[in-house]
Amino acid sequence: MENLLRPLYQERASNKNTLSIILIEKKDQTSPQTDNMEINLLVIVSDETPSIVKHYLIKDQRAALHIVSEKEINKMILLGTNRRIVDWVLNGKVLFDRNDFHANLLERLRVFPFEERKLKIGIEYAKLIRRYLEGKAFFEKGHHLDAYNHIIHALHHLARLEVIDRGFHPEVTVWNQVKEIEPQIYKLYEELIESDEELEKRLELLFLANDFLIHSKAEIGSSHLLKIMKTKEFWSYEELLHHFEVGLYSIDLSVLIEYLVSRGLLRIESMDAKGNGIFNCVYSIKKMLHSE
């Protein structure tokens, strides 16, 4: 199959914007990792054109060509938005590598720079808080299946946070990583999905455990945001949202800020009166964590 695709990837390799070409072959009969395609070609390019996916039929076998910009690949790595493609980068067969681009990318993934780790932990922590709060709200209203869905996602973000904190990128099989790295969290996951207790009881225990874990992870989970906020005295929400790193927290930034306010790590202050008792709301650091 690789030989049949040779004209396709040779054409891409001759383009000066092509940085790397990676081959991913289907290994199992059912393979969501490859969208059940017999083969995938991932082409990473230097220009910022939108991602392109093309499907081909070659001698009754299906192939897919994915063209992704370097900027988008970096975003996927940083935010974990497409762990499948990151897995392809890590484990695919390299057919073309311009100026050691792919080799350098693998080295970056292996080293996992500390500042990238802090940002990824902050993003996962914010997602963890949102899922926990939304799940708890469903639980308190008696919507146990919806609560179950949210607590599963909360545990997943907690698992990813632990993996990142240990210096590893979360893989598609993140629970296999967590089983080795942090058995306590893996045990919580097992208890939720395998326990013979009634669902309501399982959820009640899991929300209590998550409340404790969220509290205990506050130092590491908020260190990235608080380090940035330390650079000046007051921040409006709009300023934080438009900061080139903090903006990556997206819709979860608000719940993270509210949680840090409730923990006494941030304070809310009013500024610039607009008349009729309306003020701008700004945030400042009330107490720096030990790590800072």
Residue ranges per domain, the chain? 2-111, 114-285
- Alpha-carbon distance of 131 to 287, in angstroms, equals 26
- Beta strands 61-69; 39-45: pairing state: parallel
| pLDDT band per the 50, 70, 90 thresholds, residue 290 | very low
Q: What is this structure's pTM? A: 0.85
Report pLDDT digits (tens) over 70-110: 999 988 888 877 888 888 888 899 999 999 999 999 998 88
DSSP labels, 15-70: STTEEEEEEEE--SSS-GGGTT-SEEEEEEESS-PPPEEEEEEETTEEEEEEEEEH
Mean per-residue pLDDT, 218-241: 95
Report pLDDT digits (tens) over 164-187: 999 988 877 789 999 999 999 999
- Alpha-carbon distance of 259 to 263, in angstroms, equals 6
What is the third-level CATH fold of 114-285? Answer: Four Helix Bundle (Hemerythrin (Met), subunit A) (1.20.120)
- Alpha-carbon distance of 61 to 57, in angstroms, equals 6
Q: For position 273, what pLDDT does the model report?
A: 65
| pLDDT band per the 50, 70, 90 thresholds, residue 49 | confident
Question: For 2-111, which CATH class?
Answer: alpha beta
- Alpha-carbon distance of 38 to 31, in angstroms, equals 9
